[in-house]
């Protein structure tokens, strides 16, 4: 597992940095087409070996840009395989989400292991978040052979500007046991339920993915819920094992239930 806290030049450079970190941590690049500002888009597709070293987890990112409307960002895909003859949007089992970025200096937090990538970026005064790859299922590999998530703020066809206030980071999309993609809820969504003073201690709770059917699928790897009481974005929390987490807010939102904590080691 590896992490970075750094700054990219823009949305294109941020993808280059993700690609480099992934290649050093269990991911093999299958396609890389670098783009250039205002003229062409970058495309990256990779396969991860997983924690076991024998998995095949397929992900990809393609940039988007509309300079006349000041819109830049990524389209994130999670696939069940890879065909070199197919386009980015026709890969096997593909599911896609989008995250708005921009063409300016971008502070970011990135954590990579061989089964998933998590990234948060600061765009002006808002924070965007993405998680793609495998999550931690409450099932055996035989029961649930390909538990992957594609988490980003926007639908893939919504090439929004970063200043759009309608989107949320916490749109949880997972591939179900039946192979279909679905949007699920997370628990907890707000803790504590009232404004209880935690006296400088911020509990870290698993983000459990569930449906009201009821189905309980599992939890995100390295992404936990924390309270927003007396807390703020970019704060760090150290748990009892000495593991450090950075606090992230939901885009521009700062209510008590608007925060998660991303593991940094």
Q: Where on the phi/psi map is residue 53: left (φ > 0), alpha (ψ -120 to 50), or beta? A: left
C-alpha–C-alpha distance, residues 24 and 222, integer Å: 19
Question: Over the stretch 217-228, which tens digit does the pLDDT of each residue have?
Answer: 999 999 999 988
Length of the chain: 265
Residues whose CB is less than 8 angstroms from the CB of residue 52 and which lie 6 or more positions away in sequence, other chains included:
none
pLDDT the model gives residue 36:
85
- Least Cα distance to 169 among 99, 64, 95, 91 occurs for 99
Element (H, E) at 132: strand 126-134
CA–CA separation, 3 vs 265, rounded Å? 6
What pLDDT was estimated at residue 190? 54
Note the pLDDT of residue 257.
Answer: 86
Q: Which residues pair with 149 in a beta bridge?
A: 133, 174
**In which band, very low, low, confident or very high, does the pLDDT at 202 lie, cut at 50, 70 and 90?**
confident
CA distance 59 to 74: 13
User: In the prediction, which pLDDT does 203 show?
Assistant: 86
Alpha-carbon span 158 to 64, nearest angstrom: 10
Element (H, E) at 23: helix 11-23
Q: What is the average pLDDT across 252-261?
A: 91
The distance from CA 263 to its chain's CA centroid, rounded to whole angstroms, is 13
Give residue 196's pLDDT.
Answer: 63
Whole-number Å distance between alpha carbons of 152 and 26: 22
Q: How confident is the model at residue 230, as a pLDDT?
A: 86
Q: Which pTM does this prediction carry? A: 0.94
Query: What pLDDT is stored for residue 85 in this prediction?
Result: 97
Q: Is 52 exposed, middle or buried (0-12, 13-18, 19+ CB in 10 A)?
A: exposed
Residue 107 CB-density burial (10 A; 0-12 exposed, 13-18 middle, 19+ buried): middle
Phi-psi map region of 193: left, alpha, beta (phi>0 left; psi -120 to 50 alpha): alpha
213: confidence class by pLDDT, cuts 50, 70, 90: confident
User: pLDDT confidence of 17, banded at 50, 70, 90?
Assistant: very high
At 188 the pLDDT is 83
Distance CA(98)–CA(13), nearest Å, equals 17
- Quote the distance between the C-alpha of residue 114 and its chain's center: 14
């Amino acid at each position: 597992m590896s992490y970075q806290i750094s700054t990219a030049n823009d949305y294109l450079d941020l993808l280059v940095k993700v690609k480099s970190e992934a290649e050093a941590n269990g991911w093999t690049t299958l396609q890389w087409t670098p783009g250039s500002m205002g003229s062409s888009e970058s495309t990256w597709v990779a396969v991860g070996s997983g924690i076991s070293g024998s998995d095949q987890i397929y992900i990809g990112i393609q940039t988007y840009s509309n300079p006349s409307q000041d819109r830049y960002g990524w389209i994130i895909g999670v696939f069940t395989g890879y065909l070199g003859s197919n386009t980015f949007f026709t890969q096997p089992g593909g599911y896609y989400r989008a995250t708005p970025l921009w063409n300016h200096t971008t502070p970011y937090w990135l954590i990579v292991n061989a089964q998933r990538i998590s990234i948060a970026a600061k765009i002006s005064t808002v924070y965007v978040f993405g998680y793609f790859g495998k999550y931690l299922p409450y099932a055996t590999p035989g029961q649930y052979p390909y538990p992957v998530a594609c988490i980003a703020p926007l639908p893939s066809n919504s090439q929004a500007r970063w200043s759009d206030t309608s989107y949320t980071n916490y749109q949880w999309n997972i591939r179900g046991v039946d192979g279909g993609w679905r949007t699920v809820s997370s628990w907890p969504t707000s803790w504590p339920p009232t404004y209880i003073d935690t006296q400088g201690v911020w509990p870290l709770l698993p983000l459990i993915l569930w449906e009201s059917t009821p189905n309980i699928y599992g939890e995100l790897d390295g992404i936990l819920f924390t309270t927003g009481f007396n807390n703020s974005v970019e704060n760090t929390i150290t748990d009892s094992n000495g593991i450090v987490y950075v606090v992230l807010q939901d885009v521009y939102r700062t209510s008590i239930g608007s925060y998660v904590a991303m593991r940094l080691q």
